[in-house]
């Protein structure tokens, strides 16, 4: 394990933002993590736990220690007639694990195909797509407490998952490194095809009998058709969360903007797609120097190359102000600012 200095982080974030880390280390084992956390040379400095860098906005050079999590490998840890439990290292690429499960015919993750990033970061914001969130296949995780070096187990209840939320964005923020996650998959699938364009895509693909591989293929197809590939254009997926607003506020907006789309959340709360709000506020496809708003998906801010984190941050603030002014809705960032 070697700690490098002044490391360029551009290859380690999907926005492809240039920023340097004062110290940078890749860890492959729990022992290496313990050792770096105890190393007296790196105490009392800021730490950034890094997975695939696909939900980060680097706004400046990082004057601390970046710990890149590379704990690899996954294995079946339990099995019964209905379910199979798989424990995966935090550094495993999320989509690789999903593809393994799809190929083995273990159901539950197929709607979450092609989400970038690592297994260890997935519980942070309870990743979700196409009607499924990881909380639905989550069993437990192990994390090391940075202050004490103790390993703790978090079950589903302790994680307190919500829409793009978990304990790791609140009380436990910055206090733990997730080491591994155990998922509970199903041997008998329940198919979730009600969301968005999945059904139409399956029909176009000529699928008459549902199976998890077909759903995964459909999700991959839809995602590739609207989300920019970070290997071609820098981005971090949805920049903001879809706002959840009081139903009364939604009804008033609907009277003013009859085409506003919505999803019911509860008796009293309605979710509105931020992409629609941003598009209606006139931002979709707008480019400002090296950064801009994606032409096919207004919720995705992009770096065309050479853009700075500060430029993206400034653009996001302008978007927030204009959506607030037009609709009276405060957008909050999904992306983590560093
Ligand atoms: P990073 O960006 O490296 O880190 C994210 C946060 O987690 C940081 O705060 C980091 O410090 C922390 N962290 C990372 N690893 C650990 C660990 N082991 N222990 C403790 N903390 C850790 N997200 C969705 O939910 N649904 C989508 O459909 C979706 N689509 C996307 C599409 C594109 C094109 C892109 C670029 C992103 C998309 N995202 C989506 C966001 C992103 O894929 C997820 O947030 C993903 O879980 C981030 O994983 P990562 O390893 O890249 O995390
Ligand atoms: N819309 C527009 N204009 C746009 C974009 C969207 O009007 O430019 C409207 C449309 O009405 C569309 C609706 O917004 O029907 C929803 O759009 P889409 O299906 O593309 O999904 P989203 O709400 O923008 C969310 C997640 C994505 C996830 C998809 C699919 C959030 C913040 N984003 O996006 O997650 O992949 O649904 O489930 O919840 C991410 O978190 O990074 C991410 C990409």
DSSP 39-73: -GGGSSS-EEEESSSSSEE--S-EEEEEEEE----
Catalytic residues: 164, 238, 334
Answer yes or no: is pLDDT of 196 > 90.
no
Q: What is the pTM of this model?
A: 0.97
So where are the chain's domains? 4-69, 74-186, 234-337
Ligand nearest to the CA of 69: 1
Segment 228-246 shows an average pLDDT of 97
Segment 100-106 shows an average pLDDT of 97
Helix, strand, or coil here: 169? helix
C-alpha to C-alpha distance for 322 and 133, rounded to whole angstroms? 30
What would the CATH number be for the domain defined by 4-69? Answer: 3.30.43.10
For 26, 57, 61, 322, 331, the CA distances from 318, given in Å and listed in that order, are: 36, 16, 23, 6, 11
C-alpha to C-alpha distance for 102 and 113, rounded to whole angstroms? 9
Evaluate whether 321 touches 278 at the Cβ level (below 8 Å).
no
Residue 209: the pLDDT is 87
C-alpha to C-alpha distance for 275 and 250, rounded to whole angstroms? 16
Residue 194: the pLDDT is 85
Residue 208: the pLDDT is 83
Evaluate whether 332 touches 243 at the Cβ level (below 8 Å).
yes
First vs last Cα of the chain: how many Å apart? 24
Fold of 74-186: 3.30.465
Segment 5-12 shows an average pLDDT of 98
Evaluate whether 152 touches 143 at the Cβ level (below 8 Å).
yes
Answer yes or no: is pLDDT of 313 > 80.
yes
Determine the distance separating the centroid of ligand 1 and the alpha carbon of 334, expressed in angstroms: 10
Nearest to 274 by CA among 230, 237, 313: 237
Residue 297: the pLDDT is 96
284 lines ligand 2 (CB under 6 A): yes
Determine the distance separating the centroid of ligand 1 and the alpha carbon of 324, expressed in angstroms: 26
234 lines ligand 1 (CB under 6 A): no
| Substitution candidate for ligand 2 out of 299, 301, 323 with most atoms within 8 A of CB | 299
Token readout for 94 is 């999320």
Nearest CA to ligand 2 atom 32: 241
Residue 304: the pLDDT is 97
Helix, strand, or coil here: 205? coil
Determine the distance separating the centroid of ligand 2 and the alpha carbon of 294, expressed in angstroms: 12
Largest Cα span, the chain: 61
| Substitution candidate for ligand 1 out of 30, 124, 338 with most atoms within 8 A of CB | 124
Answer yes or no: is pLDDT of 195 > 90.
no
Pick the CATH number of 234-337 from 3.40.50.300, 3.30.450.20, 3.40.50.720, 3.90.78.10: 3.90.78.10
Segment 132-185, tens digit of pLDDT: 999 999 999 999 999 999 999 999 999 999 999 999 999 999 999 999 999 999
Nearest to 12 by CA among 65, 73, 66: 66
Segment 96-112 shows an average pLDDT of 97
102 lines ligand 1 (CB under 6 A): no
Residue 113: the pLDDT is 98
CB-based burial of residue 264 (10 Å sphere; 0-12 exposed, 13-18 middle, 19+ buried)? Answer: exposed
Answer yes or no: is pLDDT of 71 > 80.
yes
C-alpha to C-alpha distance for 102 and 277, rounded to whole angstroms? 35
C-alpha R_g of the chain: 21
Evaluate whether 139 touches 184 at the Cβ level (below 8 Å).
yes
């Amino acid at each position: 394990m070697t700690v490098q200095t002044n490391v360029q982080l551009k290859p380690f974030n999907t926005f492809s933002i240039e920023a340097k880390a004062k110290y940078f280390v890749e860890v492959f084992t729990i022992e290496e993590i313990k050792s770096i956390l105890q190393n007296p040379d790196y105490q009392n400095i800021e730490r950034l736990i890094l997975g695939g860098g696909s939900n980060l906005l680097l706004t400046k050079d990082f004057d601390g220690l970046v710990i890149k999590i590379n704990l690899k490998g996954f294995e079946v840890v339990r099995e019964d007639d209905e379910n199979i439990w798989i424990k995966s290292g935090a550094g495993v690429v999320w989509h690789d694990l999903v593809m393994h499960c799809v190929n083995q015919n273990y159901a539950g993750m197929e709607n979450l195909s092609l989400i970038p990033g690592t297994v260890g970061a997935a519980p942070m914001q309870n990743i979700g797509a196409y009607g499924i969130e990881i909380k639905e296949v989550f069993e437990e995780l192990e994390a090391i407490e940075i202050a004490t070096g103790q390993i703790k187990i978090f079950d589903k209840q302790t994680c307190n998952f919500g829409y793009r939320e978990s304990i790791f964005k609140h009380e436990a923020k910055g206090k733990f490194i997730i080491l591994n996650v155990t998922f509970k998959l199903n041997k008998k699938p329940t198919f979730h095809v009600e969301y968005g364009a999945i059904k139409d895509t399956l029909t176009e693909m000529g699928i008459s009998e549902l199976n998890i591989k077909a759903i995964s293929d459909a999700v991959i197809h839809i995602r590739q058709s609207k989300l920019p590939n970070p290997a071609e254009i820098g981005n971090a997926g949805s920049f903001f969360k879809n706002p959840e607003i009081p139903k009364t506020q939604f009804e008033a907006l609907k009277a003013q903007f009859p085409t506003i789309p919505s999803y019911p959340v509860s008796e009293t709360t309605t979710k509105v797609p931020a992409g629609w709000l941003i598009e209606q506020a006139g931002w979709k496809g707008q480019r400002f120097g090296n950064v801009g708003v994606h032409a096919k998906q207004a919720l995705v801010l992009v770096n065309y190359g050479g853009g700075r984190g500060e430029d993206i941050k400034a653009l996001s603030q302008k978007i927030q102000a204009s959506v607030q002014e037009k609709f009276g809705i405060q957008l909050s960032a999904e992306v983590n600012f560093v």
